[in-house]
Amino acid sequence: MMVELTPLEKVESLFEELSDWYGEADKKELRVAAKLLIVALDKFSQHGGSDWRELVMEYVDMLKDDPDKFAKVMESNRGELKGKKPTDLLH
């Protein structure tokens, strides 16, 4: 059965794939997260208009101040895999 991943699930799957690419490297998950953040910030600055920083900070503040709300936002962006980890579904 082929499961159609949501954009969030595709990014999570890419995170897992890139983490695997780093093998046994130190802090591989942090390295991957940093790469994805660099790309995301670049896209925010290109496509987010003059208020792109405020939108980024809304997410940062939400994660810091209300992690349950942030988790709900994450969960609401999942499809058929709600509550599951999207590993090895793209291959």
- Cα 4 to chain centroid distance, Å, stands at 17
When mean pLDDT is compared across 2-11, 14-23, 61-70, 80-89, the lowest value belongs to 80-89
Q: For residue 27, is it within any domain? A: yes
Could you tell me how many residues make up the chain? Answer: 91
Q: For residue 83, is it within any domain? A: no
The three-class DSSP label of residue 91 is coil
**Domain count of the chain?**
1
Q: Tell me the one-letter amino acid at 56.
A: V
Q: For residue 82, is it within any domain? A: no
What confidence category does residue 82 fall into, taking pLDDT thresholds of 50, 70 and 90?
low
Residue 3, pLDDT score? 77
**Total-model pTM:** 0.77
Q: For residue 68, is it within any domain? A: yes
Q: pLDDT at residue 91 above 50? A: no
Q: For residue 67, is it within any domain? A: yes
8 A C-beta contact, residue 10 and residue 90: yes
Q: For residue 81, is it within any domain? A: no
Q: For residue 62, is it within any domain? A: yes
pLDDT tens digits along 8-54: 999 999 999 999 999 999 999 999 999 999 999 999 999 999 999 99
Range of the domain at 22: 7-76
Neighbours of 59 (CB within 10 A): 13
The residue assigned the tokens 């920083």 is 53
Q: For residue 28, is it within any domain? A: yes
